Amino acid sequence: MKKLSKKTLVIIVSVLVVISYILHKTIAYHPITIAIMLVSTAIAGGPILRRAVSALRYRIVGIDALVSIAVIGALIIGEYWEAAAVTFLFMIGDYLESRTLEKTRSSLKSLMDLAPDTARVRIDGVEQTLSPEDLKKGMVLVIKPGERIAADGVVLEGTAYIDQSSITGEPVPVFKEVGEQIFSGTIITSGYLIVEATQVGESTTFAKILHLVEEAQDAKAPTQKFIERFSRYYTPAIIALSLITYLITRDIHMALTLLVIACPGALVISVPVSIVAAIGSSAKNGILVKGGEVIEKLSRVQAAAFDKTGTLTEGRPSVVSLHAYGMSEEDLLRIAVIGEAYSEHPLATAIIKEGANRGIVTAEVPENPEYIQGKGVRFMLEGETYLLGNRALFEDNGIDMKAAIKDIQTEEHERNTAVIIGTSEKVIGLIAIADKLREEAFEVIRQLKKLGIRKSVMFTGDSKGTAETVAHTLQLDEFRYELLPEHKVEAVKELQKKYGSVAFIGDGINDAPSLATADVGIAIGAAGNDVAMETADVVLLGQKLGSLVDAISISRMAVRNMKQNIFFAIAVAATLLIGVLLGGVTLSIGMLVHELSVLLVIINATRILRFAKRKKYTIL
* Residues of the shown chain interacting with other proteins in the complex, contacts defined by CB under 8 A: 47, 50-51, 54-55, 58-60, 62-63, 94, 97-98, 101-102, 105, 214, 217-218, 228, 231-232, 235, 264-265, 268-269, 272, 275-276
**Shortest separation between residue 153's beta carbon and other proteins, angstroms:** 25
**Shortest separation between residue 46's beta carbon and other proteins, angstroms:** 10
| Nearer residue to other proteins within complex by CB, 103 or 415 | 103
- Give the span between the Cα atoms of 19 and 15, in whole angstroms: 6
- What is the CA angle 196-200-204, rounded to 5? 110
Give, for 140, the enclosing helix (H) or strand (E): strand 140-143
**CB atoms inside a 10 Å sphere around CB 86:** 32
| Nearer residue to other proteins within complex by CB, 508 or 590 | 590
Catalytic (active site) residue 218: no
Residues whose CB is less than 8 angstroms from the CB of residue 140 and which lie 6 or more positions away in sequence, other chains included: 121, 122, 123, 156, 194, 195, 196, 197
| Nearer residue to other proteins within complex by CB, 177 or 214 | 214
Give the torsion through C-alpha atoms of 43, 49, 50, 53, to 10 deg. -170
- Give the span between the Cα atoms of 71 and 38, in whole angstroms: 11
**Shortest separation between residue 55's beta carbon and other proteins, angstroms:** 5
Residues whose CB is less than 8 angstroms from the CB of residue 436 and which lie 6 or more positions away in sequence, other chains included: 313, 314, 318, 320
- 3-state secondary structure at position 131: coil
Q: How far apart are the first and last CA of the chain?
A: 56
Dihedral sign (CA 546, 549, 551, 553): negative
**Shortest separation between residue 485's beta carbon and other proteins, angstroms:** 35
- What is the CA angle 43-44-46, rounded to 5? 65
| Nearer residue to other proteins within complex by CB, 221 or 576 | 221
| Nearer residue to other proteins within complex by CB, 53 or 380 | 53
Q: Annotated catalytic residue: which of 307, 435, 519, 537? A: 307
Residues whose CB is less than 8 angstroms from the CB of residue 10 and which lie 6 or more positions away in sequence, other chains included: 91, 92, 95
| Nearer residue to other proteins within complex by CB, 231 or 466 | 231
Task: Identify each DSSP E strand in 284-413 by its residue range.
Answer: 287-289, 303-307, 318-324, 367-372, 376-381, 384-389
| Nearer residue to other proteins within complex by CB, 40 or 235 | 235
**Shortest separation between residue 47's beta carbon and other proteins, angstroms:** 6
**Shortest separation between residue 195's beta carbon and other proteins, angstroms:** 28
**CB atoms inside a 10 Å sphere around CB 103:** 17
Nearest to 526 by CA among 149, 283, 167, 110: 167
Sheet holding 427-434, edge to edge: 318-324, 427-434, 417-423, 384-389, 376-381, 367-372
- Give the span between the Cα atoms of 219 and 233, in whole angstroms: 23
**CB atoms inside a 10 Å sphere around CB 125:** 6
- Give the span between the Cα atoms of 99 and 97, in whole angstroms: 5
150 touches 207 (CB < 8 A): no
| Nearer residue to other proteins within complex by CB, 142 or 570 | 570
- Give the span between the Cα atoms of 556 and 501, in whole angstroms: 14
- Give the span between the Cα atoms of 172 and 41, in whole angstroms: 54
Residue type, 7: K
Residue type, 104: T
| Nearer residue to other proteins within complex by CB, 186 or 270 | 270
Task: Report the 3 state secondary structure along 404-438.
Answer: HHHHHHHHHHCCCEEEEEEECCEEEEEEEEECCEC
- DSSP per-residue letters across 85-107: HHHHHHHHHHHHHHHHHHHHHHH
Residues whose CB is less than 8 angstroms from the CB of residue 232 and which lie 6 or more positions away in sequence, other chains included: none
**Shortest separation between residue 597's beta carbon and other proteins, angstroms:** 13
| Nearer residue to other proteins within complex by CB, 340 or 595 | 595
| Nearer residue to other proteins within complex by CB, 106 or 417 | 106
**Shortest separation between residue 358's beta carbon and other proteins, angstroms:** 50
- Point out the residues that are catalytic: 307
